[in-house]
């Protein structure tokens, strides 16, 4: 099966399972898919396994929000059902499920295959740069978290940049992703310094 037909088949079955939350919606899955394919051009990896894993990696987020289950496990389960329906080989379904189980940042799992390394990288790249900034403020807004605070004990979206986003560059697996992360990281630094200046009325 060519990749475009595979993507089309998966899209038709997967998008309705996706959470409407902007950070983990179908558009996030599509961006991660495109980035996986871009990284794969240099790093290699099975294109079918990677495409399927990327498009389905967060399909269980809605169940996590509703039932407090781990979404990487849940996504692997739903991915298995969808891929069986479209006639994916059981050998490749197992591979896809393993890649999906290993994607989660919070679980800090070490990726054991090239495809898992690439998905981790693509997912993390989507958390930085302009998209990362947009996702972070959008998520903070949905949780009523203040954008910034003078009080260090108060969780703020600005603090999240220091706790997580500015560290992402150093936890990537592939050289290709590290090169892409460099520009995204620098863009966030420019944004943050401007943001702080505007808070103080200096710009």
Q: Which two tokens stand for residue 72?
A: 């990487």
**Least distance from Fe ion to the Cβ atom of residue 61, Å:** 7
What's the CA angle centered on 130, arms 179 and 127, to 5 degrees? 70
Instruction: Kindly tell me which of 48 and 58 has the beta carbon lying closer to Fe ion.
Output: 58
**Least distance from Fe ion to the Cβ atom of residue 105, Å:** 7
Instruction: Kindly tell me which of 74 and 123 has the beta carbon lying closer to Fe ion.
Output: 123
Which of the residues 56 through 85 are near Fe ion (CB under 5 A)?
58
Instruction: Kindly tell me which of 27 and 192 has the beta carbon lying closer to Fe ion.
Output: 27
Question: How far is it, in rounded angstroms, from Cα 151 to Cα 8?
Answer: 48
**DSSP SS3 for 128:** coil
Query: Among 3-11, 116-124, 143-151, 190-198, which window interacts with Fe ion (CB under 5 A)?
Result: 116-124
The number of beta carbons lying within 10 Å of the beta carbon of residue 196 is 13
CB 18 within 8 A of CB 59: yes
**Least distance from Fe ion to the Cβ atom of residue 25, Å:** 10
Q: Which two tokens stand for residue 110?
A: 């070490």
**Among 48, 74, 121, 123, which residue sits at the site for Fe ion (rule: CB under 5 A)?**
123
**Least distance from Fe ion to the Cβ atom of residue 104, Å:** 5
CB 131 within 8 A of CB 187: no
Query: Among 53-61, 77-85, 127-135, 156-164, which window interacts with Fe ion (CB under 5 A)?
Result: 53-61
Q: Which two tokens stand for residue 149?
A: 């605070």
* Binding interface with Fe ion (CB under 5 A): 58, 123
């Amino acid at each position: 099966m060519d990749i475009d037909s595979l993507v089309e088949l998966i899209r038709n079955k997967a998008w309705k399972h996706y959470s409407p939350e902007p950070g983990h919606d179908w558009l996030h899955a599509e961006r991660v898919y495109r980035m996986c394919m871009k990284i794969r051009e240099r790093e290699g990896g099975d294109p079918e396994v990677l495409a399927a894993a990327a498009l389905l990696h967060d399909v269980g987020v809605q169940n996590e929000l509703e039932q407090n289950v781990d979404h990487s496990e849940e996504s692997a389960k739903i991915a298995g059902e969808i891929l069986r329906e479209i006639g994916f080989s059981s050998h490749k379904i197992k591979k896809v499920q393993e890649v999906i189980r290993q994607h989660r940042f919070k679980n800090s799992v070490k990726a054991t295959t090239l495809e898992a390394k690439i998905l981790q990288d693509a997912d993390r790249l989507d958390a930085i740069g302009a998209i990362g900034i947009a996702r972070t403020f959008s998520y903070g807004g949905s949780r009523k978290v203040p954008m910034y605070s003078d009080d260090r004990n108060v969780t703020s979206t600005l603090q999240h940049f220091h706790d997580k986003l500015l560290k992402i560059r150093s936890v990537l697996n592939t050289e290709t992703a590290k090169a892409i992360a460099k520009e995204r990281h620098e863009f966030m630094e420019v944004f943050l310094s401007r943001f702080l200046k505007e808070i103080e009325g200096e710009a």
